[in-house]
Structure 1
Amino acid sequence: MEAFKSYRSWSFVSLFIVILFWVSTVHVEYAGARNITVGGNNGWHYGYNYSDWITKVGQVYVGDWLVFKYPAPTSNSMAHSVVQIQNKARFKKCNVGAAIKLAGPTQGTGNGFHFRLKRVRHYFFACGLGNTRHCTVGQMRFGILPVVKTG
């Protein structure tokens, strides 16, 4: 019976250490997270090459925030949105029909729409409006692969 109590105690300590390590890793992972405005001073709009822009941003890390800024639509301006396309094949074809809607036409105003890159994986973003025209002709799309920040 003593061996069982000792085993239970050891299991609890081991679990506590694992949880403590996981919490500290998550905290370190997000420490120093940046806000990266998509398109820089240009914001999120039709006709800007975001695939080119993302190559100039430099390394992007897990925990960083992408900030999509765009004006609300008016009678003189186009509406925009932000969608996440699930995979590279759909991204290449601008298949926004099955994409996950992240932000609508008015969510890019003010401080913009914020999206946190929570893990290492390929993310593909596009404007889901304009019957794919914003994604194809308007070049409102880009892919990104954040990495874990070390050191």
Structure 2
Amino acid sequence: MKIFTVTLKEKEIIETSEGQFEEVVLKTKKYPAALTNKSLLIGKQLGILQGSTITDVIGIVDFDTDKKEEDMAPGFDLLAYEQVIYLAVVGINKNFTLSLEDFLDQYDEPMDEKTELFGKLLEGYFSEGNKNNFARGLQNSTKKKSGKGKRKR
């Protein structure tokens, strides 16, 4: 499993001495993020994912992470990417208490960085250890049986 960093920013809108408004970052905090089995379970419990498998994560997004903001289709759902990033933070941080809404209020990165992190989170999930176990499990479950329940090799 590869671990990435998500930076959350507490912000406030203030009025300047010229009568204009500007956004000011009050505080930033970094959190580790990685897709874990716990992330997937939480995703199912919150209704973000249909099930608790990695294929459920892949199924909720338009999976072209190389797109730039101006290339996105009108129906592009950035929220799906943000929800997966939220699950990656919640799943690895036992004491993380922000709701999805509060997380989204503080997670303010450009769209292309969000889609890139989403792709990296998936790659991290399929890191060498998970990939081998996944492939081995898939291979074992798809071997043809011959005769009375014996597997054909």
Shorter-normalised TM range: under 0.3
TM-score by length of 2: 0.27
TM-score by length of 1: 0.27
More helix by share: 2
